[in-house]
Amino acid sequence: MTDAVGSIDKPDADDDETPESNKKSRKGGKRGKKGPLGRLALFYRQIVAELRKVVWPTRNQLTTYTTVVIVFVVVMIGLVTVMDYGFQRVVKYVFG
Q: How many angstroms separate the CA atoms of 88 and 76, rounded?
A: 18
> Tens digit of pLDDT for each residue in 71-96?
999 999 999 999 999 999 999 999 98
Lowest mean pLDDT among 15-19, 33-37, 57-61: 15-19
Q: How many angstroms separate the CA atoms of 70 and 67, rounded?
A: 5
Q: How many CA atoms lie within 13 A of 53 on its CB side?
A: 6
Mean pLDDT confidence for 57-63:
96
Residue pair 15/1 in contact (Cβ under 8 Å)? The answer is yes
Q: How many angstroms separate the CA atoms of 44 and 50, rounded?
A: 10
pLDDT category at 17 given cuts 50, 70, 90 is: low
